[in-house]
């Protein structure tokens, strides 16, 4: 059985073995997914600004870890973008990101409100745990699915970072001095964040990354279509074991047994939903 490398926190772009890049091992479907992921990860500064407002009245170290988290997320976008540019020289991260930012700007990022759209800092941390669960499992799936050595390394490094981010947000969740949320409220926040995968962020990232600007008139953006197309792409990468890990991490964040019946049901339902969306694309 192959043993995955264990990557230390605080790695840099220069540590990646870029010289091992193998053009013949690039898969077109995987490339499309990486281009989209690069834009989402590179957009970290907006999340940093938002979280710093939400935690503005917390101890100074809270703002420090938000900044550190954002720096690592931004680096993920740079690394994925650099790989995509190697795999497809016509792709330019800066240009694609400019189009993405022009078409995607959620209201809570643009405002100055110092409250979480989840209703509380606890709710915000549950939502962040859901996101990190998804990204950690997603990059693990990419690592396991690709034969291209540089992408395998980059995905492994990012997956390790995202798992550490999950643990960070989980620890912050437990340390909040706000009243504890009921189990149903925690579950509702988590489900709400999962369903947001249908919003414009992932769909428009896929569109901006993979539809050239000169084709926009012939291929206008349609959220439903590109959301389904992104889901179909993900289904070529995910395996059931990755979904299981994702759901177990989310279950822990909401206070459920990661190995209990609720997690089993969640895994089965999520896998079925993903299959259905992929088939309809």
Query: Using one digit for the tens of pLDDT, what is the confidence trace for 20-50?
Result: 999 999 999 999 999 999 999 999 988 899 9
d(CA 126, CA 184): 13
Strand, coil or helix: 178: coil
Domain chopping of the chain, boundaries:
25-280
Gap between the Cα atoms of 124 and 130, Å rounded = 10
Burial (0-12, 13-18, 19+ Cβ within 10 Å), 146: buried
Residue whose structure tokens are 């988290």? 69
* Contact status, residue 153 vs residue 21, Cβ threshold 8 Å: no
pLDDT tens-digit readout, 221-252 = 999 899 888 888 888 899 999 999 999 999 99
User: What sign for the dihedral angle of Cα 171, 238, 76, 227?
Assistant: negative
| Choices 2.40.50.100, 2.40.128.110, 3.40.50.2000, 1.10.620.20: CATH for 25-280 | 1.10.620.20
Following CA atoms 57, 58, 63, 66 in sequence, which dihedral angle do they give, to the nearest 10 degrees?
A: -110
Instruction: Give CA–CA dist 211/227, Å, rounded.
Output: 14
In terms of pTM, does the model score above 0.95?
A: no
């Amino acid at each position: 059985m192959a043993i995955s490398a264990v990557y230390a926190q605080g790695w840099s772009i220069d540590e990646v073995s870029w010289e091992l890049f193998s053009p013949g091992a690039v898969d077109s479907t995987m490339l499309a997914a990486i281009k989209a992921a690069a834009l989402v990860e590179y957009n970290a500064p907006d999340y940093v600004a938002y979280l710093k407002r939400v935690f503005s009245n917390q101890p100074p170290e809270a703002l420090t870890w938000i900044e550190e988290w954002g720096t690592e997320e931004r680096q993920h976008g740079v690394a994925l973008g650099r790989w995509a540019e190697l795999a497809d020289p016509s792709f330019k991260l800066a240009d694609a990101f400019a189009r993405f930012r022009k078409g995607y700007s959620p209201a809570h990022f643009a405002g100055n409100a110092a409250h979480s759209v989840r209703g509380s800092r606890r709710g915000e941390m549950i939502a962040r745990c859901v996101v990190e669960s998804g990204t950690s499992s997603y990059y693990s799936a990419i690592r396991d699915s690709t034969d291209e050595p540089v992408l395998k390394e980059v995905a492994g490094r990012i997956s390790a970072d995202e798992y550490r981010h999950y643990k960070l947000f989980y620890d912050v969740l437990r340390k909040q001095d706000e009243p504890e949320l009921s189990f149903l409220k925690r579950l509702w926040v988590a489900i709400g964040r999962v369903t947001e995968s249908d919003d414009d962020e992932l769909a428009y990232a896929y569109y901006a990354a993979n539809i050239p600007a000169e084709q926009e008139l012939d291929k206008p953006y349609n959220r439903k279509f590109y959301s389904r197309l992104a889901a179909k792409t993900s289904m070529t990468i995910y395996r059931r074991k990755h979904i299981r890990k994702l759901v177990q991490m989310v279950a822990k964040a909401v206070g459920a047994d990661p190995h209990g019946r609720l997690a089993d049901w969640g895994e089965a339902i999520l896998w079925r939903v993903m299959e259905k969306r992929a088939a309809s694309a």
